[in-house]
Structures are given as structure tokens and as C-alpha cells.
Structure 1
């Protein structure tokens, strides 16, 4: 019979993002309920926070404005996908196992991509550039939720899971929270999104990412022959202490 040290040792041999969720149906239920609630709320927001959007946009001057615009461009869809591939490649190299790399990338994708569908359904307009003190070039798509903010939040959550059993876990959490705040402020100061767009996006990712991980890592991967657990795989990313 397995002892508690044996169980702890087995958990230590699994990269954090591969550790099964003990409550998968709860994760799915929370995600579905959150998406429905956020979508319904989106239909009623209108221009409720246009005043706050203008106040944020008034900060878009000098070096701060340059930084927020750069942040917006750096995690636009094409660069964001490239960043995800690079980090997934590093995870694959460090873990010597493709599964945590795909768990990382697919958790982000399954969390991020559906937000674009809800964005088209809700179709909330972005802040009116005619009302802004420092308008950003008009963006052609609706604004709710913010894809940039969903992406960075999902990225941070997935990365924190990957390094959960390593000395980098706390660093990833702190730096990740800072990154999310920076993106929230950037899209709000650029006024490419209402602040409520960005806030809803953080809630979206926090609720949907666990379900995305369950769907891909716990349910899909074991059914794909070359992604099934195997002896000697999932070497931890833990550094020697």
C-alpha cells in the first residue's frame, strides 16, 4: 500500500500543470456559469464607465503613453502566439517532455479563443475616440472582453501551474500579478477598452483557465496515444537545491 511519502514523491515527479484536478466538474461548472454571467452583464454595460475611460486616457502622455502603447502591441495576437510558442518550447526543453508544454499552450488557447466569440456576440463598442483626450487608432472589432487581458491572465495562470513545484513559483506569481496589472492599465490608458472590459477579462481567465486545463490535460491528452503518461516522462522543472 502506498505511503504518504510515496504519494508526495509521485506528485513531485509531475510538472505542476499535469497534476489532475480533483474536482473537474466543479471547474467546468464555474467556467460555464462565469461565461454566461459575464456575457449577460456585457449586454448592459453600454458606456457606463466612459468617464473612467477618459480619466485613464488623460494619462496617455510622454513616456507612460509610449509604454502602454508598446505593451498593447507586444501582446497583440501574432506576437502573443509567438511568445506562447517560445515559452512552450522552453518548457518542453526543461521538462524533457512534450506534455507540460502542450498543457501550457493549450490551456492558454482554450481560455483565450472563446473570448473572441463572446466579444462578437456581445458586440460592445470600444470607447468613442471622439470623446477621448488622446485617442488611439480606431480598432475594428468590439471591445468586451479584452483579448489582450484574457491572454495575459491565462498566460500567467498556466505558467504558475507549470512551475508550481519549483523555487520559481512565488516569483512567477508576483511577476505575473504585476504583468496583469500592467496590461489592465495599458489597455485602459490607451482607451482601446473600457476598464470594465479589462476587469471582466481577468475574471474570465481566472474562471475559465482551470476548466480549459481539465478539458485538455485531464480529458483530452490521455486519449491521444503519444501524449499518454509514460515511465520517465514529466521530469520536474525543479532546480537542484
Structure 2
């Protein structure tokens, strides 16, 4: 999309934040593709390079802190995470009275999150050896890199921040979102279900891929779906909570 066309669309509709068109979609997608390739290649060379750090994190998996980090791990496991995404998407639909931002939110998360599971199988990095950990977590059956939990929470935060970008909740969402990402990073590291490098790479993955996921769904796919295409000249609902 050319810059004049981008500005015209931005001026003519006060849109929910996540629906704002990206002025440089091809660059955004290219950055995501390069990031995925680089992070995938890096994964093959990590091995157990940070096993010592994983063991150090795991030493504090005791008492209330250990119970908390384990609870965090379970709360955003795939089934609860999918349920949470549906609930929040439903709230967005209800508040905005428009299905498009709700789908934009959910699909941005999905398109960011699901490919990480494919890379996990390709790289097939083993999880930290439970025999070497002071407080081992039950053995997880899937590979370690990247951390799906960390990809999910980072994509969730990014998508939600976009949804509320034009509202008074934007700053609060940013602050609480950063806290949530840090909590999940520390939780999967303290549980030692992932190496710290798994979680760090997952944050980078979501930061790079989420903008491209939003472009693919909101800018490219949504306008081609008849029931999601806004009527010519119709008002676009503003963000809730102004």
C-alpha cells in the first residue's frame, strides 16, 4: 500500500487499533521471515549451552514461589490459553460491536503461535535433563525450543495492546503486559521446563512475527472475506473505552 493510500484510509476511519493498516506490509513480513529463519538456525546450535543457568533458576523452585511458577505454567498451557483467547476475543467483539477486531486479535495470536510448534519439532532441542535439576518438573513430551508458553503470552500481549491502542487503557496494557511476559519467562525458567534461551528466543519470535501475522490476517485476508469487508462509506466502530 502506498503512503498516500495509507494516510487516506487512516483519515477516513477512526478504527480499532488492531485494524489500522500497516504502511509497509511487505517489509514487516520480510522481517518476520528473516527472524524465523535466523531463530530456527540458532536453535540447532544451542544444545545445553545454558544448562548451568537453567539449574540456577531451578534452585529457587521451592515453597510458594515454586507453586506459583508451576501454576503459571499450567494456566497458559494450550487448552487454557485457547480458552482465554476466545474469552478475550468475545469481549472485544461485544465492546467494539464489530467482529473484525476480535478476529484480528485471535488470528494474530494464532498465526504467531502455531508456527513455533512446527519449528520446535524441526529443531528438536531436548529439554533440560531432569536428572541434573535440583527440583525437576515432570518430564514434558515435546521438544524445548522455542517455548510455546512464552510465544503465546508475548503474542497475546502485543495483540491486546494493539486492540486498546486508541483508548485510555493503552499504557496500563503495556505495563501489565510486560509484567506478564517477564512472569512467564521466569516461570518456565524456574520450573526448568525450558532453557532460559528458549524463552528469550520466544519473546524475539513473537516481537518479529506478530506484526506480520497482523498484516496477513487484517490487511490481506480480512478484506477478501465478504462478511468481514466493511461497506463502502460505512462508519468504522471506534475503539472501546475512549
Q: Could you say if the C-alpha distance between residues 8 and 118 of structure 1 is closer, same or farther in structure 2, counting changes exceeding 3 Å?
A: closer
Match of 1:235 among 235, 238, 241: 238
How does the TM-score come out when normalised to structure 2?
0.94
**1:234 Cα deviation after fit:** 2.8
> Hey, what does 1:92 align to over in structure 2?
93
Paired residues, number: 234
Q: Check the 8 A contact 2:10/2:20 in 1, yes or no.
A: no
2:150 match: 149
Q: 1:84 is paired with a residue of what secondary structure?
A: helix
Q: Tell me, which stretches of 5 or more residues in structure 1 are unaligned?
A: 1-5
User: What's the CA shift for 1:237?
Assistant: 1.3
Rounded Cα–Cα distance in structure 2 between residues aligned with 1:238 and 1:78: 29
Any idea what SS the aligned residue of 1:136 has?
coil
Contact 2:54 2:189 in 1 (8 A): yes
Q: Is the 8 A contact 1:100 1:234 kept in 2?
A: no
Matches of 2:228 and 2:139, distance apart in 1 = 43
Give the match for residue 49 of structure 1: 50
Instruction: State the SS of the aligned residue for 1:165.
Output: coil
Give the SS at the match of 2:209: helix
Question: Which structure 2 segments of 5+ residues have no match?
Answer: 1-7
Offset at residue 14 of structure 1 (A): 0.2
TM-score, with length taken from structure 1: 0.94
C-alpha distance in 2, partners of 1:7/1:19?
A: 8
The runs of at least 4 consecutive aligned structure 1 residues that moved more than 3 Å come to 6-11
Matches within 5 A, 1:1-241: 10-11=12-13, 13-230=14-231, 231-239=234-242
